[in-house]
Amino acid sequence: MIDLSLAEIADITGGRPHDIPDPSVRITGPVVIDSRQVEAGSLFAAFDGEHVDGHDYAVRAVEAGAAAVLAARPVGVPAVVVPDVEKALGALARAVVQRLGTDVVALTGSAGKTSTKDLIAQVLQAHAPTVWTPGSLNNEIGLPLTALKATAETRHLVLEMGARGIGHIAYLTGLTPPRIGLVLNVGTAHIGEFGGREQIAQAKGELVEALPAEAEGGVAVLNADDPLVRAMSGRTKARTVLFGEAEDADVRATEVRMAPGGQPAFTLHTPTGCSDVTLRLYGEHHVSNALAAAAVAHVLGMSVSEIATALSGAGTLSRWRMEVTERADGVTIVNDAYNANPESMRAALRALAAMGGSARANGGRTWAVLGPMAELGDASLAEHDAVGRLAVRLNVSKLVAVGGREASWLQLGAYNEGSWGEESVVVSDAQAAVDLLRSELRPGDVVLVKASRSIGLERVALALLEREGEVADR
């Protein structure tokens, strides 16, 4: 964060200084919402959450080195007291980004946001100092916290934007107005909350509506292969850059192929030339993600050779997204359990199938350990059934469906598609899945673990890797 005094912060947020002997004291450290993350010169934002009230930790935060607290009430230590801490945090982020003048790249989509954001971050970081959203902190609190990490040296600010309803992305773009807006796809994630894909498209398109006009440097980067995304070109005054495998895409891929281990390779084409790319990531779905990152990098002036080199060297930054680990005994665990929706579930199964070609050659099998996909509303039964059927079509060796009603739908789809019988099984919970796998896995097997975040199915992968102590932000 750039250097601001407490008086300036009070002015920006509409707050009032309280218990502050010297309003000229400056914030020189990060803005945090967890008192355990306080550094010297920090600003601690006290949120009254569902389980914990940050105001109770205000004294601890100042004792740990925080210069002050952003609070909704006096806390007995130096504080800027505001009517609404969340809105004050957003106002502070907006002011900082405007002062810095950094290029803001915002992206959204139903699937692949975090993986694509990680690719963009790594490619742009090779070009100039870049700050990006950690993990999936893409909401009204996570986004301003990320923006406030930017400094005077930051050239690119890459912000993932999530939405659970109409107006959410419009609000986020108001906090950190983007110059470049990327829309990846319109799928069925949260379809139960939105009501349909058309409503999801309406919400995602709020990003391109917020962009400045082409004459002011605005650029909308859109997926040419998704009709609902391509149509968003009519909702923006910004210049449109298309990416995808369509022939008219400005940034596109040809000669897409898969390595035996499941990593994709392709020839990258941009308006300035072409170059070969071999990704370190697993699954053909990452080709589209890589093209999106390449399109953003092209807009920001990187050459095709620079982009291809950076993409080929990029790895996974965020945990539990197609995180591949081979155990000492030759069993490979694919931990993709951070979240799931129908599109990402299908992509993960196809990646497992690609990895299975190499496994089968060595006598191994493929295992799909799948849990429920949340927030699908009336489409839930059909979507779970379809995923179970796809596992059969892709010749996955064994489906382990974890949970209750949705797990039975997964297995029923598999059974009806291929009459698998004992080749698919429903287990009650994560521990039951672990017990089953520990008794049956053998060297050369590949195990995919995936479900919606609320299910906590990462426990299966971590147990199989004997890393049960790991945790992630929920």
DSSP string over 164-204: SSTTHHHHHHHHS--SEEEE-----TTHHHH-SHHHHHHHH
Instruction: With cut-offs at 50, 70 and 90, classify the pLDDT of residue 55.
Output: very high
* Averaged pLDDT for residues 75-97: 97
Q: Comparing 333-337, 421-425, 448-452, which segment has the lowest mean pLDDT?
A: 421-425
Question: How far apart, in whole angstroms, are the C-alpha atoms of residue 141 and residue 138?
Answer: 8
CA angle 225, 143, 187 (to 5 degrees): 25
CA 179 to chain centre: 20
* Averaged pLDDT for residues 297-303: 97
| 404 pLDDT more than 90 | no
Place of tokens 């740990």: 64
| 420 pLDDT more than 70 | no
* Averaged pLDDT for residues 457-471: 82
Question: How far apart, in whole angstroms, are the C-alpha atoms of residue 33 and residue 70?
Answer: 10
* Averaged pLDDT for residues 70-75: 97
* Averaged pLDDT for residues 274-303: 96
pLDDT at 474: 40
Known binding residue 205? Answer is no
| 471 pLDDT more than 60 | no
Known binding residue 41? Answer is no
Rounded to whole angstroms, what are the CA distances from 193 to 67, 78, 115, 199? Answer: 41, 41, 23, 10
Known binding residue 112? Answer is yes
pLDDT at 359: 66
Place of tokens 């250097």: 3
Known binding residue 114? Answer is yes
| Cα dihedral 459, 411, 379, 405 in deg (nearest 10) | -70
78 SS3 class: coil
Instruction: With cut-offs at 50, 70 and 90, classify the pLDDT of residue 108.
Output: very high
Q: Supply the mean pLDDT for the chain.
A: 93
Instruction: With cut-offs at 50, 70 and 90, classify the pLDDT of residue 473.
Output: very low
Question: How far apart, in whole angstroms, are the C-alpha atoms of residue 74 and residue 314?
Answer: 46
* Averaged pLDDT for residues 204-226: 97
What pTM value is reported for the model? 0.87
Question: How far apart, in whole angstroms, are the C-alpha atoms of residue 387 and residue 403?
Answer: 15
CA atoms within 13 A on the CB side of 239: 13
Rounded to whole angstroms, what are the CA distances from 35 to 32, 65, 75? Answer: 7, 10, 14
* Averaged pLDDT for residues 426-450: 95
Amino acid at 74: P
| 165 pLDDT more than 90 | no
Question: How far apart, in whole angstroms, are the C-alpha atoms of residue 271 and residue 265?
Answer: 20
Question: How far apart, in whole angstroms, are the C-alpha atoms of residue 100 and residue 416?
Answer: 58
Instruction: With cut-offs at 50, 70 and 90, classify the pLDDT of residue 259.
Output: confident
Top pLDDT among 323 and 50 is at 323
pLDDT at 469: 56
Instruction: With cut-offs at 50, 70 and 90, classify the pLDDT of residue 243.
Output: very high
Known binding residue 450? Answer is no
Question: How far apart, in whole angstroms, are the C-alpha atoms of residue 369 and residue 401?
Answer: 6
Instruction: With cut-offs at 50, 70 and 90, classify the pLDDT of residue 361.
Output: low
Known binding residue 110? Answer is yes
pLDDT at 319: 83
Beta strands, E only, 236-353:
239-244, 251-258, 264-270, 273-278, 323-326, 332-335
Amino acid at 212: P
pLDDT at 363: 78
Known binding residue 109? Answer is yes
pLDDT at 419: 61
